[in-house]
Amino acid sequence: MKAGAAAFILTSGDLQGEEMAQIFVKALPRITRFLKNHAKPFIAKITKDGSVSLLFQ
């Protein structure tokens, strides 16, 4: 948190690399919006359906 970084973590387990990539691509518009609306530092989660929500700030 001292570095002032933004971190996005995928909360679903047991996924192949291609599945993870598809989730991140699906979530990209939401990630972009999230970055515009939230001050750093923070940790946000991305769920399997591509939703993004704040975990810690």
pLDDT tens digits, residue range 4-56?
Answer: 999 999 998 899 999 999 999 999 999 999 999 999 999 999 999 999 999 99
This prediction's pTM: 0.88
Residue 1 forms part of a structural domain = no
State residue 33's pLDDT score: 98
Checking if the pLDDT of 57 tops 80, the result is: yes
State residue 13's pLDDT score: 86
Q: How many domains does the chain have?
A: 1
Residue 20 forms part of a structural domain = yes
Rounded Cα gap, residues 10 and 20, in angstroms: 8
Residue 19 forms part of a structural domain = yes
State residue 2's pLDDT score: 84
Rounded Cα gap, residues 7 and 54, in angstroms: 10
Structural domain span for residue 48: 6-56
Residue 11 forms part of a structural domain = yes
